[in-house]
Structure 1
Amino acid sequence: MAGKHYTINKGVNRPISFKGLQAQYILYLGVGLVVLLLLFAISYVLGISFWLSGTACGFMGYLLFETVFKLNRKYGRYGLKKRLARHKLPMGIKVRDRGFVRKLKQKENG
């Protein structure tokens, strides 16, 4: 009996990539496009001119694409998350009571 041949999926553990966008940027672009579609539909229902709302949504779509691709190039797969997390860290901690530090040292030693 001949041995079985299995294909190996070489894309395991790689980030999702679509047209150069990586990871979360695909989600950002998708959500942005859905918001623009809803904005266009709402403006059309409200009676705003088709050409005016279409042009405005087209321009905002262009800005959305440019911004998302720029963030993707600048920060990469995890860089934007790291940047947002870095802004949440405090610049420093002020300790006005030395007793606090002494209690920490006692916990380390004992």
Structure 2
Amino acid sequence: MAEYRINKGVGRQVEFKGLRAQYLFIFAGGLLGVFILFVALYMAGVPALACTLITLPLGTGMVWYTFRLNDRYGAHGLMKKAAARYHPRRIIHRRSLRRLLRHHCQTSNLQHACKAPSKP
């Protein structure tokens, strides 16, 4: 009878050296950006030592900041934080209560319930 290996990583999030989910893309994009900056500076005629002294702290800071974001917000927290900007802070309703009730009574099927009780 044949034996089959079960892949136990199906459905898990991608992880590399502790970085999870979207932080991998931030990390890779940041390092690529620093590398492109180094190449652009070098092609512009800036000495190699100056290019290194400019890009090394930028790369180190980018790596540190990515790991800091990963520790602070977790796998999905950064997306939740970005989505929270689109939620309203408060709901503002400027119609008076009388107008709201009148509109409700005109559109509902409960016409008799909206009428004020008659005085005897």
| TM bracket (short chain) | 0.7 to 0.9
Partner of 1:20: 18
Q: Specify the code of the residue in structure 2 equivalent to 1:20.
A: G
Whether 1:32 and 2:25 are equivalent positions in the alignment is no
Deviation at 1:59, TM superposition (A): 0.6
Q: Specify the code of the residue in structure 2 equivalent to 1:54.
A: T
> Deviations along 1:52-93, whole A, 9 cap, x unmatched?
111211110000000000000111100011111112211112
**Structure 2 Cα separation of the partners of residues 45 and 12 of structure 1:** 44
Larger radius of gyration: 2
4+ aligned runs moved over 6 Å, structure 1:
none
After TM superposition, list the pairs within 5 Å mapping 1:1-110 onto structure 2.
Answer: 3-98=1-96, 99=99, 102=103
SS at match of 2:55: helix
Cα 1:7–1:49, aligned 2, differ >3 Å: closer, same or farther?
same
Partner of 2:114: none
Unaligned runs of 5+ in 1: none
Deviation at 1:100, TM superposition (A): 6.0
SS at match of 1:76: helix
Figure out how many residues of one structure are paired with residues of the other and give that number.
104
Unaligned runs of 5+ in 2: 111-120
**Structure 2 Cα separation of the partners of residues 100 and 25 of structure 1:** 48
Deviation at 1:21, TM superposition (A): 0.5
**Structure 1 Cα separation of the partners of residues 50 and 31 of structure 2:** 18
